[in-house]
Amino acid sequence: MKESTEIGLDFIIDKLTNSIENVVTGDSFATEISLLKSSDLKNVSKKKNWLFEWNYEFKQPERDVYKLTIVNNSDIIQGLVCLEVKEDHVYMHLVESSPFNKGKDKVYAGVPGNLVAFACKLSFQRGHFGNVSFVSKTQLIEHYEKSLGAIHFGGRLMIIETKSALKLINKYFKD
């Protein structure tokens, strides 16, 4: 069995929005999150400029990969998150915005925040009080503390607890 090493997440919370927001116009678009399907994998490969091996994540039986799309436009994936429900929390393995939602020329802001808020929501749904953990790149620990309300637990481990989880959920999910 291949040993897995945690590389540390390096997504940037560009803006906490109510959904996702067009960077040029400022228009907000309602989003939905659903499980990635095997038919989606051809569109989320390194050949299509995605950074991570989503095909590998998709095949891990203990993990689920979710896609963020705009309501009524489910063919265009805005971002992905790979989650594992643990005994007492949800663990985020990977978070990635689609290639067109990265950098200074990105189309939409708010994608990473939306995906993290979903992880918190899933944690509540599974009875884990919104608790989410992930391993951060060292240089982003302070960023996640400020933008997500995450707690630096030691090493590169970050935890989002109930209070911060509720803030994120209330920002992105109105139901």
**Residue 149 contacts residue 121 (beta carbons within 8 Å):** no
**pLDDT digits over 146-175, tens only?**
999 999 999 999 999 999 999 999 988 875
**Residue 120 contacts residue 130 (beta carbons within 8 Å):** yes
Q: Is the pTM of this model over 0.95?
A: no
Judge whether residue 32 has pLDDT over 70.
yes
**pLDDT digits over 102-140, tens only?**
999 999 999 999 999 999 999 999 999 999 999 999 899
Between strands 132-135 and 157-160, the pairing is: antiparallel
- Unique residue bearing structure tokens 């992930």: 134
In the chain, domain spans: 20-172
Q: For position 9, what pLDDT does the model report?
A: 73
**pLDDT digits over 56-109, tens only?**
999 999 999 999 999 999 899 999 999 999 999 999 999 999 999 999 999 999
What CATH homologous superfamily does 20-172 map to?
A: Gcn5-related N-acetyltransferase (GNAT) (3.40.630.30)
> First vs last Cα of the chain: how many Å apart?
42
Structural tokens at position 16: 């906490």
